[in-house]
Structure formats: structure tokens, C-alpha cells
Amino acid sequence: MTPLPAAHAVDYAAVENACERIAAFLQPTPLRNYETLDHVLGLRVLVKHENHLPTNSFKVRNAVAVLTSLSPEERACGIIAASRGNFGLGLAWAGKHLKIPVTICVPLGNNPEKNEAIKLYGAELIEAGTNFDAAGEAMQRIAAQRGLRVIASANDAQVIAGAGTLTHEILQQSRAAGETVDAVFYAVGGGSTAAGAIAVLLKAAPQVKAIGVQAELASAIHDSWRSGTIISTLCADTLADGIATRMPYKMTFDAMKAGLADFVLVSESEIMAAMRLMIRSTHNLVEGAGATGLAGLMKSAGSLCGKTAVVVLSGSNIDQATLKRVMDAG
């Protein structure tokens, strides 16, 4: 990996600091090996169980990291964010535990299960705008009116530092277990996990390859990374809705340019196959984005024969209709 640009906002110390702040709220998640998965893929696979966290996704790390970094004044006024799901859930959970008022803007027609869960954690839910961007614009207006601190889902140094804690744990746990990790596969939505990972790996394990994975149907960041120019797409309609982004974000994209060893694209049917393999071999539930890292590994397995790879099971918040559809397609 080439050194990070000097302007890169997150370094190893920021991640270590986030580790200390989240420790009072979140237990480390298991890093586990499943012989069945090794057997199918022909290499050693370690699964990082972010689905074991409260709210069932890594996003709660980001949320706790950013909310614990706020000033007393910001905490008292409260925060606002636009989200379709896991980040909103994570913020609602963190706000409840830190006693910080949380407002989440979701687009009209957002998944009702996600909306219900966000509200039940005590956050205020505002439905506005016909798509995610419009919800984001409404969020900015409300923030200005009410004097709320806006929390970006990816383009924020504390969010990235929070996401970096998962790779920090991977290194600690794999070393304690005597594992030699060759590569880690990260699904890329906003890019916080990949950017956080790069901050950790560059300093603490430069020999470990960080590999990004996106869905073919939401490939803006991959395309930008390959071409070296910023590319945005009109739509991003993948089953892996947790990573359905239409454009790169400055902070995370700069890190990925500097630090990703490779970037893999996977099809919808490859994501579905990875979801079924994850369910069959680990007996953990997984959402589309949560299995996208594994889909990337499945595609790359041939070149990693005999090596050790980590996949992040980043979340399990799947609705019943989608789970049914994925199971029926297998």
C-alpha cells in the first residue's frame, strides 16, 4: 500500500481512541472459523461477526464513536442524520444509551420494519422526500431550523474511526489465535469500514491486503477507483441495499485510493449465493450487504488457495420477504 495522503483525516491513533470510547458500550465481536466454509472455498476463512452487535450491524460502532466524540453542547441539542436503515438504527441505539436526542430522516416508502425499529429505540423518525437524496436535503433543512448537529454516514472522521475498530479487533483476535491473515474483504457502501481498515492496516499490518467489494448494480465507487475519476450513477438498486450508494465520498474515497489492494464487483446472483452459503455454513442470518464481502471472496477464492482471508459479516437486518426470495432462488 502507498502511504495515505497527508490530508487523510483518520489515523491509527484515532481508531485506538475510538476503541477506548466504544469499549464501555460494545463487546468485541467474535472472529470465527467454520470448517464447512473452508472446505467449500479451499482456503482458511475467518468470519467477523458484526451481526452479533446490538442493532445487528457494524454501524453501531460508527454511531457510538461519533456520539461519544460530541461536545456537551452538541449532546444537549441532539443530532440528526439521513439513513435508510442500519446507520439510523445504530444512532438511535447509541442516542438511547448516551441520552442524546436523535432524529433520523428516511425517504418516503422506506422499509417499515426499519422505521419501526428506529422509533422503538426512542429516536424521532421523519419521513421526507421521494428518495435518499431528497431525505438528505430535508434533513439539512431541519438541522438548520432546530440547531441539530448533522452526522454524515461516511464522510466523517469519527465515523471512519469507529468503523476502523472492527479491523483493529480482527488484528488483535487473529494474532491471539495464531492466524496469519492474508486478506480482508470489505463490502463498500459509504466506505467507512474500508477507510477505517486502511488506517489500521497501514500502520499495524501493511502486509494484509484490504479488498473492496461492490455490487455491479451499485458500482460508482468501484468505477471511480478503477478509472481514477469521480463517477456517480443515476440509480443503485441492488439487493444489498445497505451498500447502495451512487457516488464516492471524499474522505473514504481518498483512503480507498491510497490503500485498497483490489476492488471486486459481484452480481446480484453472486450476492444471493453468498447469503445462502453464509446461512448454510455459519447458521447466522445475513442481509445482502452483509454477505457481499463473502461474495467477493468467493469470486477471488482461486487466487487465494491455501491462504487465510477474513470476511466481515457486516449485518443481518434482512426483512422476511427478501429472505424468502433469496432462499427460493437457491
CA distance 94 to 261: 33
Q: Which stretch binds a copy of itself (CB under 8 A): 66-74, 110-118, 165-173, 229-237?
A: 110-118
Task: Examine residue 121 and tell whether it contacts a copy of itself (CB under 8 A).
Answer: yes
Q: Say how many C-beta atoms besides its own lie within 10 A of residue 302's C-beta.
A: 10
Q: Which stretch binds a copy of itself (CB under 8 A): 212-220, 230-238, 303-311, 320-328?
A: 320-328
CA distance 310 to 294: 9
Q: Say how many C-beta atoms besides its own lie within 10 A of residue 76's C-beta.
A: 11
Task: Examine residue 83 and tell whether it contacts a copy of itself (CB under 8 A).
Answer: no
Which of residues 247, 284, 299, 301 is near a copy of itself by CB under 8 A? Answer: 284
33's enclosing H/E stretch is: strand 31-33
Task: Examine residue 280 and tell whether it contacts a copy of itself (CB under 8 A).
Answer: yes
C-alpha dist (Å) from residue 51 to 29, 75, 191: 8, 27, 18
Q: Which stretch binds a copy of itself (CB under 8 A): 29-37, 61-69, 187-195, 251-259?
A: 29-37
Q: Which stretch binds a copy of itself (CB under 8 A): 9-17, 135-143, 168-176, 276-284?
A: 276-284
Task: Examine residue 153 and tell whether it contacts a copy of itself (CB under 8 A).
Answer: no
* Long-range contacts at 19-22 (CB < 8 A, ≥ 24 apart): 19/165, 19/168, 21/64, 21/65, 21/68, 21/69, 22/61, 22/64, 22/65, 22/68, 22/162, 22/165
Task: Examine residue 192 and tell whether it contacts a copy of itself (CB under 8 A).
Answer: no
Q: What is the DSSP string of 243-287?
A: G--SS--HHHHHHHHHH-SEEEEE-HHHHHHHHHHHHHHH-----
Task: Examine residue 279 and tell whether it contacts a copy of itself (CB under 8 A).
Answer: yes
Task: Examine residue 314 and tell whether it contacts a copy of itself (CB under 8 A).
Answer: no
Which of residues 1, 11, 17, 54 is near a copy of itself by CB under 8 A? Answer: 54
CB 154, min distance to a copy of itself, A: 23
Task: Examine residue 56 and tell whether it contacts a copy of itself (CB under 8 A).
Answer: yes
Output phi, psi for 317, to 5 deg: -85, 75
Q: Are 66 and 83 in contact (CB under 8 A)?
A: no
User: Closest CB to a copy of itself among 22 and 221?
Assistant: 22
CB 39, min distance to a copy of itself, A: 6
Positions touching a copy of itself (CB under 8 A) are 27, 30, 32, 35-36, 39, 49, 51-52, 54, 56, 113, 116-117, 120-121, 276, 279-280, 282-285, 287, 316-320, 323-324, 327-328, 330
